[in-house]
Structure 1
């Protein structure tokens, strides 16, 4: 199964951002973007890819330990950015040092549990909002996102999430996400 460790924003934060995304979807050029669904908005901490189910017990133990060693911290959705001209995302602000630490601990937990972590890059916290198969003019969306400032919330849990790919051949199909497990922060 395809897994990743993540922070899931609370319903209120998703709703706030959703109001802005609804405006973005009406901007010129936005009809060429494939928009992610609100239910899928998350902050990926460590992408694990395909994980053998036999590794899950040890992975759970190690992620629980990583969560327990990390105190709750404040976060808010703020601003946005892009990867090339093909991906639009919302950024975050607040406890970024704590978020990076939780990402590093999640990555280390997966490695120690035997997950082959082949992807390692500098951590950039973001919630993917839209993608494009071809280069797109993201300027209007970026301008609108630049002044977005969400209400702060406290990150209190680490989630292990399963990602199922979109159903082939179904127009507009999106990946489906489901929580496999979660652990409270700061309980070691």
Structure 2
């Protein structure tokens, strides 16, 4: 199964972002982008790719420990940017050092559980909003995100999410996401 660890924004934060995205989708050129929807909005902490099912018990145990060792922290959706000319994203503000620490712990948990992880990269908090298969001028969309400041919320859990890639061949169909497990930060709950 294809897995990643993530922080999921609460419904209120997703609602604020959705209102902004509705405006971005009205901009010229928006129809050339493949927009992600609310079910796919997340801050990926550690992308694991294909994980053998027999690694799941050890992985979940180690992710639970990583969550327990991390205290809840504030976060909000803030601003945005692009990766090259093919991906548009919303950023984050607040407890970014805590978010990076949680990402490092989730990555380490996966490695220790035997998951073959890609080369470690510097973590950049982002929530993907749209992608393009070809080079696209994303500057107007980035400008639309520039001053966005969502409401603050408290990150209280770490999620393990399964991603099922589209198989139907229907144009515009995106991956489906299913939360496999969640663990409270700081041992709360």
Q: After TM superposition, is the score higher than 0.5?
A: yes
Return the alpha-carbon distance in structure 1 between the equivalents of residues 163 and 8 of structure 2. Answer: 14
Query: What stretches of structure 1 move > 6 A for 4+ residues in a row?
Result: none
Mean CA deviation greater in 135-144 or 176-185: 135-144
2:73 corresponds in structure 1 to 73
Return the alpha-carbon distance in structure 1 between the equivalents of residues 108 and 82 of structure 2. Answer: 27
Does 2:100 correspond to 1:100? yes
Structure 1 residue 121 displacement after superposition: 1.1
2:59 corresponds in structure 1 to 59
Does 2:152 correspond to 1:175? no
Structure 1 residue 126 displacement after superposition: 0.3
2:32 corresponds in structure 1 to 32
* TM-score between both structures, scaled by the size of structure 1: 0.98
* TM-score between both structures, scaled by the size of structure 2: 0.98
1:42 corresponds in structure 2 to 42
Return the alpha-carbon distance in structure 2 between the equivalents of residues 88 and 94 of structure 1. Answer: 21
Return the alpha-carbon distance in structure 2 between the equivalents of residues 118 and 67 of structure 1. Answer: 21
When the two chains are superposed, the root-mean-square deviation of aligned CA atoms in Å is 0.9
Structure 1 residue 58 displacement after superposition: 0.5
Structure 2: gaps (5+ residues): none
Structure 1: gaps (5+ residues): none
Aligned-partner SS, 2:45: strand
Deviations 1:33-79 (A, max 9, x none): 00001111000000000000000000011000000000000000000
Return the alpha-carbon distance in structure 2 between the equivalents of residues 96 and 159 of structure 1. Answer: 17
Return the alpha-carbon distance in structure 2 between the equivalents of residues 44 and 119 of structure 1. Answer: 15
Return the alpha-carbon distance in structure 2 between the equivalents of residues 164 and 9 of structure 1. Answer: 20
Return the alpha-carbon distance in structure 2 between the equivalents of residues 6 and 157 of structure 1. Answer: 9
Does 2:138 correspond to 1:129? no
Aligned-partner SS, 1:118: coil
> In 2, are the aligned partners of 1:167 and 1:174 still within 8 Å (CA)?
no
> In 2, are the aligned partners of 1:6 and 1:158 still within 8 Å (CA)?
yes
1:85 corresponds in structure 2 to 85
Aligned-partner SS, 1:186: helix
Return the alpha-carbon distance in structure 1 between the equivalents of residues 40 and 70 of structure 2. Answer: 24
Structure 1 residue 167 displacement after superposition: 2.3
